[in-house]
Structure 1
C-alpha cells in the first residue's frame, strides 16, 4: 500500500485523483485550503489524513511540511496539484506575486522540505499547456504590478512547474519527478465570470476524472516506462516550449526559488 499526498485535493483533478488512488487501496493524504470543502472531500475519499494549508503563506507551508513529516515517515508520491489563477495583481505577505507563490514557490518549498520522506518515491507536478504564455523571471519573483497579466502570470508559473520537475530530476536522482498537462479541465478554475463560465460549460473540456486518471498513471506506472524530468501531454512525453526546457533558466529559477523560500 503506497502513501500518496495530494495537494489541491478538495475539488477538481486533485479530488478525482484522490478517489482513484483510494479505490486502488492506497493510503491517501489530502491537502487543501478550504476547510469545509476539504472535509467534504475527505468523506468521499475516506482519506487516511487531512491537512489544511494556504499556499499563499509560506509559514503555513512550512507547518504543513512538519505535520506531514510527523504523520508520514515515507511518502511514495507527492502530487503537487494545488494551483490557480489570480485575476488582479496581488503580492503575498511573503513578498511574492501570488500566482507564482501559490503555483510554484509553495510546492517548491513543500517538496524540498519533504525530500527525505520522498527518497525512492515520486513527485508529479500538475503543469499546463498554458506555460507557452509566460516565462518565469527568477530575478523578479515579486512581480511587477504595472506589467501584470493574469494569463501570463499563470503561464509563467506553469512553466516553472515544468522547469522544477526537470531540474529536480537532475539534482535529486533519488526522487523521480515528472510534470504534465491535464487537459483543459471542467472545474471551478479561474478568476472572473467569463473565465469561470468557460471552464464550467465549454463543450470540449476534459472531465476531472479523465485528468485524474492521467495523474494516477504518472504516479504509478513503472519508472522504466516514464522519463525522469519529463513533461507529459496525455501518455506521451512532450517537448515543452523552448523557455520551459531551458536548463540554464531551470538552474537560475531553482537557485532563486531556494533563496526566496529560505531552503
Structure 2
C-alpha cells in the first residue's frame, strides 16, 4: 500500500522519499515510483524500524536533504506471530508499528510545522487493548494478533495527542480497510490476505492515504481516525484523552526523547 501511495504521489508531481528495510525491494520500488513520476528521481533511504539507530539516521538524512516536509506518512508495519525483541529491548510490533513512527515524528517535528502526519492504523477490534504502562505486553501471554492490534491502537492515540500538543501540524490516522498486501507473508495469515475475496487492492487503499495527505485541511478534523469518508468514532472507553497523554509520556521514555 505504501508503494502504491508513493506512485500516486509521484504521478501527481510530488517529490517522494521512499523508506524500506530491504535493499532489493527498495530498489525495485524506486524504479516503479520513478516511472510513475515520468522520470523524476525519488529519494530513498534504507532503514529498519526495528532499530532506533536507523530511525535517527533517517531523520538526520531527511533534515539535511528536505528543506520542507509537507507530509510524513507513517505507514511501515509488521506482524510477528511469536514474541520478538528488538536490539533496543522492545517487543517488535510495538517498536516497528508505533515507537519508531513516534520517534521519527518527534525528530522531524519542527520541519513538519504547517504540514501533516498520517499514521496508517486499522479500525481497532472490539477486544483491542493498550496499557501505556506495559507497552511491551510483558505482563500478558503473547498473541501476535493482539500485539498488532495494540500497536494500531497506539497509532490512533498518537494522532489524538499530537493534535493537542502540536496544533500547527495536522495529525491524522487512517483505517485503509482490509487490503490485499503481504504483511502476513511469513505467517499462516498470508493465505487470508491472498485468497479472501472482496479485499481492497493496494491502489484503492492508497487513495485513502493520498486523500488525507492532500485534501484541504479545512475538510479534515485534527486528531481523527478516517476510513473511506467521514471520521470513524473509535471505542470511547479505549480512546480517551487521558490514555493518549499517558501513551505519549510512555513513548517518550521508551525512545529516550524528552
Tell me the TM-score normalised to structure 2 length: 0.94
**Structure 1 stretch 233-242 or stretch 26-35: which is displaced more?**
233-242
Distance 1:193 1:109 in 2: 28
1:208 to 193, 196, 202: 202
**Structure 1 stretch 217-226 or stretch 126-135: which is displaced more?**
126-135
Distance 2:65 2:127 in 1: 38
- Contact persistence 2:75–2:120 (CA under 8 A): yes
| Equivalence map 1:16-95=2 (5 Å) | 16-46=4-34, 47-95=41-89
**Structure 1 stretch 189-198 or stretch 224-233: which is displaced more?**
189-198
Q: How far did residue 202 of structure 1 move?
A: 0.8
Q: Unmatched 5+ residue regions in structure 1? A: 1-12
Distance 1:43 1:102 in 2: 25
Matched, 1:162 2:156: yes
Cα RMSD for the two superposed structures: 1.4
| Equivalence map 1:1-263=2 (5 Å) | 13-46=1-34, 47-144=41-138, 147-190=141-184, 192-263=186-257
- Contact persistence 2:124–2:149 (CA under 8 A): yes
Distance 2:126 2:174 in 1: 14
Q: Unmatched 5+ residue regions in structure 2? A: 35-40
Structure 1 stretches of at least 4 aligned residues deviating more than 6 Å after TM superposition: none
- Contact persistence 1:131–1:157 (CA under 8 A): no
Could you give the per-residue CA deviations for residues 94-125 of structure 1, whole angstroms, max 9, x where no partner exists? Answer: 11111000000000000010001101000000
Distance 2:71 2:52 in 1: 21
Alignment CA distance shift 1:183-1:194 (3 Å): same
Distance 1:32 1:15 in 2: 10
- Contact persistence 1:131–1:156 (CA under 8 A): no
Q: How far did residue 39 of structure 1 move?
A: 0.4
Could you give the per-residue CA deviations for residues 110-149 of structure 1, whole angstroms, max 9, x where no partner exists? Answer: 0010001101000000000245442222112233286111
User: In structure 2, what is the equivalent of residue 3 of structure 1?
Assistant: none
User: In structure 2, what is the equivalent of residue 4 of structure 1?
Assistant: none
- Paired residues, number: 251
